[in-house]
Chain A
Amino acid sequence: MKKKAQLELRTSPHAHAGQDVVQIMRNVVWATVPIAGFAVWQYGLSVLALLLTAVLSCLLSERLFNRLGLEPSTLGDWSASITGILLALTLPPGFPLWMTAVAGIIAIAMGKALFGGLGMNPLNPALVGRAFVQAAFPVAITTWTPSLFNGRFTSFIPTTLTAPFQRPPAITEWVQGVAVDSFAGATPLALMKFEHAATPVTDLILGATAGSTGESALVILVCGLYLAFRRMLDWRIPVSIMAATAFLSWAYQLIEPTAPGPLFMLCSGGLMLGAWFMASDMVGSPVTPLGVVIYGLLIGFITVAVRLFGGLNEGVMYAILLGNAATPLIDQWTQPRVFGADGRRKQA
């Protein structure tokens, strides 16, 4: 039952776009459904369990911290669900479920609750969770499985159901049993970095390669564009990240012809998911139009630098976390001039 319209007296702003947090968050969840669905089709039951575990652990920790903080439940704003889905999409398909739960708890606890909940988190919670398990379980998080293997809807990847606190079993034999053709066991970025072997771009676009759960560039691009057209995310962020990545890898290829080209860089690894769904998180990104572009360029630059010159073969996660961390500074630099004030920027 709706209350009767009341006379609302408050300070400006009085006009707004008619969007609120819950509405945006709900739309982001809808936009990730095709990506998650595609991943389930690729990897089967294991990824379904992975998604459920990640979302459930995020929701439960969110509720727990609500209780500890004596606050009303914030499960209804969908933000914890998004964290869970995005977290699952960045993990390897066969990632043990107990480690996934650890990642979910850390994501909400250290990424969000510690700073005061939604809107206060300086870093993207899902990436905080992933960064933690990357540092804690370096072997499990670089154990890749082939996609579209036989029997994926009837059985789990052996590592998925590892008992809590136990080491996941070796899957080399299992991979040889199910893989359609020879499976390298390394991601396209790792193959490129350590063996200078290129992966066909069509495979990358469809995500038919070894990699994290949500890496099919085409599906992510479509879903991201949907959000951009609904004005649910700032299109400048993904566009500037992709522009910086493409330009830098193109320029470097001129110097070093064996280096990977722009299309490979854009479509491989977590770049698409990171650019469209993680870097564009409203809390961790700058608010000024110029700041947003600087932020995007910075992330693209760090990604390319890590991929080309770093010890790791993938740098999107750290690039976005560093971009998040630089956001307050970028915001301060790019404050617009107060109307009527003289000088470039007057500090209060």
Chain B
Amino acid sequence: MKGQDAQAPATPALKMLIVLGGIAMLSGFLVVLVDQLTKPIIEANQQRAIERAVFKVVPGATLRRNYLVTPEGVHPAGDVGSGNGITVYGGYDDQGRLKGIAVNGAGMGYAGLVYLLYGYDPDCACIRRFEVLKMTETPGLGDKIISDAGFQANFIGPDGLSARLNGAGTALENAILTVKHGSKQHPWEIDAISGATITSKAVGKALNQSAQNLLPLLAPHLEQLKRIDIAPAESPTNGKGE
């Protein structure tokens, strides 16, 4: 075949087009087929991942509702973020009572952005838990923010981490601040991990920035989120919150 190619006139362009077109069509068919087959499974996986994180940061929650928070108001939303506004996840217990609101945040750490999901408890106006979604901090140092009991104690205590709005409702009364290890004095301060100060500060920055943006918008509409009606089919065990 090599010999033929060298002497015979060049392959006609039409043949090339047909072959490439044929291969492209075959490829397209395969990709669409696999996409159709896997799409429902992938979506279910993603929902489960979000749900797992939301239920972790909102203790007691068994149901989830998504909301889009904009300066105009708060609206129910789908799983895919729709442009302008902040997507938050309301966590409800099986009676439909609001247990807390899970919100995304991100702050610059030692080796890149630290992405968090944190749970805001409207009853005590505080942050009760946070979960790291993604980070590239040094294993053994920066990733202590997940495992260090002392650091977690900043949030887990009876009053959580204070995130109270000021009287006018325009910003936090006291900005959330990460302080040096061992010098926490106020409920809005985060006691840093010694040896992982930069990552601890990233958590503080992420929480503060996100809370400052979100809470003034969210506060006036909190009442409308307090309760939801549960459809009979929506049992807590298999509820998807959609």
A interface list, Cβ under 8 A from B: 137-139, 142, 185, 194-195, 311
Contact = CB atoms under 8 A, between A and B. Distances in A.
Nearest to B141: A138
Contact of A195 (B110, B180, B195, B198): B180
A311 B141 contact: no
B166 interface: no
B194 interface: yes
A138 B110 CA distance: 14
Q: Closest 3 interchain pairs by CB?
A: A138-B141, A138-B140, A139-B140
B198 A142 contact: no
A140 to B, nearest CB: 10
Given A195-B180, A311-B110, A138 B198 contact: no
B197 interface: yes
A121 B194 CA distance: 37
Contacts of B180: 194-195
Q: Do most interface residues of chain B lie in helix, strand or loop, or is the interface mixed? A: loop
Given A137-B140, A311-B198, 12 more contacts: A138-B138, A138-B140, A138-B141, A139-B140, A139-B141, A139-B195, A142-B195, A185-B194, A194-B180, A194-B197, A195-B180, A311-B110
B94 to A, nearest CB: 42
Specify which of A137, A138, A311 lies most central, judged by the most chain B CB atoms within 10 Å of its CB: A138
Contacts of A194: 180, 197
Contacts of B198: 311
Nearest to A167: B140
Contacts of A195: 180
A138 B142 CA distance: 10
Nearest to A194: B197
Interface string B92-111: 00000000000000000010
A214 B180 CA distance: 28
14 contacts: A137-B140, A138-B138, A138-B140, A138-B141, A139-B140, A139-B141, A139-B195, A142-B195, A185-B194, A194-B180, A194-B197, A195-B180, A311-B110, A311-B198
Contacts, number: 14
A185 B138 CA distance: 21
Specify which of B138, B140, B198 lies most central, judged by the most chain A CB atoms within 10 Å of its CB: B140
A194 B198 CA distance: 10
A138 B140 CA distance: 7
A134 to B, nearest CB: 11
A318 B90 CA distance: 48
B162 to A, nearest CB: 25
A137 B140 CA distance: 8
Interface in B100-148: 110, 138, 140-141
Nearest to B192: A194
Nearest to B194: A185
A195 B183 CA distance: 13
Interface string B179-215: 0100000000000001101100000000000000000
A124 B229 CA distance: 70
Contacts of A138: 138, 140-141
B147 to A, nearest CB: 12
Contacts of A185: 194
A137 B139 CA distance: 10
A14 B100 CA distance: 86
Contacts of B138: 138
B95 to A, nearest CB: 44
Contacts of B195: 139, 142
A142 B144 CA distance: 15
Nearest to B197: A194
A28 B201 CA distance: 45
B111 to A, nearest CB: 9
A192 to B, nearest CB: 14
A90 to B, nearest CB: 19
A139 B198 CA distance: 15
A270 B89 CA distance: 51
A87 B107 CA distance: 37
Interface in B4-46: none
Nearest to B110: A311
A44 B180 CA distance: 31
Nearest to A137: B140
A137 B110 CA distance: 17
A69 B141 CA distance: 39
